Structure 1
Amino acid sequence: MLGACAPISELQANKQESEQAIRIVLVGDSTMATKSGYGDALCERFTPAVQCINLARGGRSSGSFRAEGLWKQVEDLLKDQSGRKTFVLIQFGHNDQPGKPGRSTDLATEFPVNMARYVDEVRAWNGVPVLVTPLTRRSFRAGVLENNLLPWAQAIEKIGQERHATVLPLNAKSYAAVQTMGEAEADTLAVAPPPVVNKQVDEAGSSRPDIAKLEPQGAPKSAFDRTHVGRKGAVFFADMVLRELMQAYPETKALVGPALTTEVAKEGSK
């Protein structure tokens, strides 16, 4: 009987060692950050033995995240990893767009350089860089979802090709999913319900809330908008990222509960 039990114990020990040897670090903006993004929901998907650290911060771009010293946290973690394999998921783009003083970066000359440098440094510190294209916004025009983050997604994909780094296509996946569900259902993914007053109808026939009146710039993400996500949206997009991560790195499937792994895979096949 002891001999029959030994392989099971060995498998359990190997699984535990695998979990303890893995760490996941999230780097990005508010669409990944605590309370306004999917990052914490993604961390919840992993077993307790996996150390998942959400370093994403609202309002940051590929340039300001480093300029403010936030990237130093990643360097410190990787240089003191104690033998752990560390995946660093990096997602920027929203605040790199024009019109954001102190944050905007040039799409042709700055953004690609910033993202490539992140990849190079993670590797130099023995981590595994995983680029993530920016989460889609959920603004529709005449029934068609806009994708003004596509150029940044394409820039990230190009960096991935040039640096032979994994790219999780969150922009394409989230765009397709939100377009399919439509505006009304997509609005249920927001931090708060859509307002019933102060609505504007643009010339193309799209009904849009006057966000400027609802949520002043710099205010906490507690009012309705079509960029940030509440709990429902966080779980929805976290599972989307998890599916892509498990596909790119099959070994991460062992870091997620069996029931959840099956559930996420099933949703992805629909």
Structure 2
Amino acid sequence: MRIFFSCIKKAWPLSLFVLLAFAGAPPKKIKLYLIGDSTMANKVKQTFPETGWGMPLVTFFDSTVVVDNRAQNGRSTRTFLAENRWQPIVDALQEGDYVFIQFGHNDEAENYPDRYTPPEDYRKNLIKFVTETQRRKASPVLLTPITRRKFDKDGHQQETHVAYSRVTTEVAKQYKVPLIDLDKMSRDLVQQFGAENSKLLYLQLAPGDHPNYPYGKEDNTHFTELGARKMAQLAINEIKAQHLPLAERLAKPLPKNAVPPTKGKDAQPTTP
């Protein structure tokens, strides 16, 4: 009997090693970089309830994904590059990281020469983002510019980024990278809400609704918290639909009968 237990004791480290080998190492942490404009960017409290759709995105992933939102208000592909906002990301990219690329709103702003980028230059800039990401063995994902709220007199949501969405789609096809067509998906969503209810998605405030906007706000480009979350959900749904490897890192939903965890002495287990 003593010899038997001695053999078991000696074999235990090897058995543990085998079990761990089959279980596999936990996935390494990766970064998901977001580059784009104000529709995606983080916001300061002085502009609340304006919310970029990149802000709630972090809540959809598990702890192995670090969302690094580098999107900036008012930037086009040209100014993002000119201000040296891209190169530090390239230098930091690691194998397995992702870069979500969503521009267009400011590139198409012909009335603002400081940011306007003609479609062909926009194409070149997207290609630069894509190819430099790939050289670092990271994964670029192109996203068409998210729609502005614009209904015609018959209540139909209009397409607001025709040329720039087309270029984005063409670059994705040419370089065989994933495309998330946020333009179309967000138009469909806004249409589902309708001309009146879709105001809930955008920064539409009456005078007195919020102290940050005492005189109200009528903005058909930027989102409320609800709108930002809905737009982020569109991107997440497409990650799942396209079976991108990133989908494996989405947060797992709690069971329906789970009790949400709390802090302190009243903490409850997550399952009965």
TM-score, normalised with respect to structure 2: 0.75
Equivalents in 1 of 2:252, 2:19: separation in Å?
19
Task: Report which of the two structures shows the higher radius of gyration computed on alpha carbons.
Answer: 2
Contact 1:150 / 1:171 at 8 angstroms: preserved in 2?
no
Residue 140 of structure 1 aligns to a residue whose secondary structure is coil
Q: Distance in 1 between matches of 2:230 and 2:249?
A: 19
Q: 1:194 to 1:184 in 2, by over 3 A?
A: farther
Moved over 4 A (4+): 6-11
Whether 1:23 and 2:34 are equivalent positions in the alignment is: no
Q: Deviations over 1:83-134 (max 9, x none)?
A: x511100001000112122110111x21111111111111112211110000
Which residue identity lines up with residue 55 of structure 2 in the other structure? D
Compared CA separation, residues 10 and 44, structure 1 to 2 (3 A): farther
- The match for 1:251 is 245
CA contact (8 A) 1:21 1:85 kept: no
Within the candidate set 129, 145, 149, 1:118 is matched to: 129
Are 1:240 and 2:234 matched, yes or no?
yes
Q: Which amino acid counterpart does residue 40 of structure 2 have in structure 1?
A: M
Match of 2:62 among 21, 43, 47: 47
Q: Which has the higher helix share?
A: 1
Q: Percent identity?
A: 28
Distance in 2 (alpha carbons) for counterparts of 1:68 and 1:173:
31
Is residue 183 of structure 2 the alignment partner of residue 168 of structure 1?
Answer: no
**2:135 maps to amino acid:** A
Q: CA deviation at 1:196?
A: 6.6
Alignment of 1:64-103 (within 5 A): 64-78=79-93, 81=94, 84-97=95-108, 98-103=110-115
Q: Which amino acid aligns with 1:41?
A: P
The 3-state SS of whatever aligns with 1:225 is strand
- Answer whether contact 1:115 1:159 (CA < 8 A) is retained: yes
* Count of residue pairs the alignment pairs up: 226
Specify every segment of 5 or more residues in structure 2 that has no aligned partner in the other structure, as ranges: 1-11, 44-50, 209-214, 257-272
CA-CA distance at 1:259 after TM superposition = 1.5
Residue 156 of structure 1 corresponds to 168
Cα RMSD, aligned residues only = 2.6
Query: In 1, are the aligned partners of 2:62 and 2:252 still within 8 Å (CA)?
Result: no
Q: Which runs of 5+ in 1 are unaligned?
A: 198-213, 216-222, 263-270
SS at match of 1:151: helix
